[in-house]
Amino acid sequence: MLVKWGASSDTGTLRVQNEDSFLAQDRIFVVADGMGGHNAGEVASAMAIKMLADAQTAGIADANQLARTIEQINHSIFQAAADQTDQRGMGTTLAVLAITPNESTNEVSAAVANIGDSRTYLFRNDEFRQVSVDHSYVQDLVSEGLITREEARTHARRNIVTRALGIEPNVAVDTWTLPLINGDRYVLCSDGLVDEVTDEAIEKCVKQKIEPQKIADQLVAIANANGGRDNITVIVVDVIGDGANSVAFSSTAAETTPEKKSLMKKLILSGAAAICAVVAIVLLSSYLRSGYFVAYENSKPDARVLIYRGKNFLWVNPTIEADSTLSRADLSLGLAREIIAQPSFSSSADARDYVNQIRDVVEQTTP
């Protein structure tokens, strides 16, 4: 058992129907905030939850597979909306936390994905931060430096999302891969929470050393007390075991006794082996150049925090993609440990977003 969790969902004080849906079960946690009239939002969010539950039953190996699954769900919702007149324009946001095994390292990681403005937060070593990045009109303004995060909370267009499942035939999915560390507390929520409760108030509640179910219930209650103008859904996930060496994998290979073969058969097999070797080298080279991770330049106390592309294997070394301008000395103990785990990402943009979040935490805690 690596995690324990609690979940709570409420219609709020003004809405008569809850278009939020959530999934909280072993290895996968999802918040979906539906949108669209005539109950269509409820349909879209429920479809996303069911399909993710089915995908988890089959197994989600990593963040890349999670992203592909969400892309397929997007297509299904888009097609369902096109086929049903009363469901035209339906869609849903999505925040996902999947516990994923890594067969090559025998470790378990956290794969985070998001679409829209449903959020994922992480409380680690007394530091609280938002992992996901909102796909919303006001977030674009914040990113461009036109408004502050506080101004975004009361902006007239704060509920306009720039990305959602089911609205377009194709959608870009943001994913992050983070180490699973004992003591971590993740919070997934719909915008019904963050529109009513500041990040500071959420952090204060999350820091309490009480069961995750009580945290989820308290956050929903605070949102309702502050107005509760939208549906509110919260999932709190506590990590109670490190992901390192948590899953063991084994394999067996059947032994065969070689028999005498004709010269022609040997030539055919040799040719096939040569072709397979060439294909394997090409595929291996492509694999070793794929993916990005964040790590220290070296083991020195003032080592730079860098974004790397590729993987270490025999003669192949990862290349430096970007310099974060941060050093080990800038980081707190919690963030330093996170970088030691070398979090990986599916794209350069995701890695840069992660580094920017780390920089924000450092700047907020620097006197």
Residue 184: φ, ψ to 5°: -60, 150
The C-alpha atoms of residue 94 and residue 254 are separated, in whole angstroms, by 44
pLDDT in tens, 85-104: 777 889 999 999 999 987 66
Give 103 or 331, the one with higher predicted confidence.
Answer: 331
Q: Among candidates 176, 174, 27, which has minimal Cα distance to 111?
A: 176
What is the gyration radius of the CA atoms in the chain, in angstroms? 23
Q: Among candidates 112, 233, 105, which has minimal Cα distance to 184?
A: 112
- Structural contact between residues 80 and 50, judged by C-beta atoms closer than 8 angstroms: no
Measured from the Cβ of residue 175, the count of other Cβ atoms closer than 10 Å reads 22
Q: Among candidates 326, 337, 324, which has minimal Cα distance to 366?
A: 326
The predicted model gives 233-249 an average pLDDT of 71
Q: Measured in whole angstroms, how far is the alpha carbon of residue 136 from the centre of its chain?
A: 17
- Model confidence at 263, in pLDDT bands (50, 70, 90)? low
Q: Measured in whole angstroms, how far is the alpha carbon of residue 196 from the centre of its chain?
A: 24
Record the tokens describing residue 302, joined without a space: 């003032």
In this predicted structure, which of 41-45, 88-92, 226-230, 362-366 has the lowest mean pLDDT?
Answer: 362-366
What is the β-pairing status of strands 174-179 and 107-115? antiparallel
Give 251 or 183, the one with higher predicted confidence.
Answer: 183
- Model confidence at 39, in pLDDT bands (50, 70, 90)? low
Tokens 């849903």, residue? 92
> Counting beta carbons within 10 angstroms of the beta carbon of residue 229, is it exposed (0 to 12), middle (13 to 18) or buried (19 or more)?
middle
Beta strands in the chain (DSSP E): 3-10, 20-25, 28-35, 91-92, 94-102, 107-115, 119-124, 127-130, 174-179, 185-189, 232-239, 292-296, 304-309, 319-327, 344-345
**Ordered strands of the 185-189 beta sheet:** 3-10, 232-239, 185-189, 119-124, 127-130
- Structural contact between residues 70 and 165, judged by C-beta atoms closer than 8 angstroms: yes
Q: Among candidates 110, 89, 72, 76, which has minimal Cα distance to 34?
A: 89
Give 18 or 269, the one with higher predicted confidence.
Answer: 18
* pTM, rounded to two decimals: 0.71
The C-alpha atoms of residue 45 and residue 180 are separated, in whole angstroms, by 27
Beta strands in 1-117 (DSSP E): 3-10, 20-25, 28-35, 91-92, 94-102, 107-115
- Report whether pLDDT(43) > 80: yes
Specify the 3-state DSSP secondary structure of 36: coil
- Report whether pLDDT(23) > 50: yes
- Report whether pLDDT(55) > 90: yes
How high is the pLDDT of residue 270?
A: 65
How high is the pLDDT of residue 181?
A: 92
The C-alpha atoms of residue 337 and residue 343 are separated, in whole angstroms, by 11
How high is the pLDDT of residue 9?
A: 97
Give 238 or 348, the one with higher predicted confidence.
Answer: 238
For 206, the enclosing helix (H) or strand (E) is: helix 199-206
- Model confidence at 250, in pLDDT bands (50, 70, 90)? very low
Domain residue spans of the chain:
3-239, 292-365
The predicted model gives 116-126 an average pLDDT of 96
Specify the 3-state DSSP secondary structure of 32: strand
The CATH homologous superfamily to which domain 3-239 belongs is PPM-type phosphatase domain (3.60.40.10)
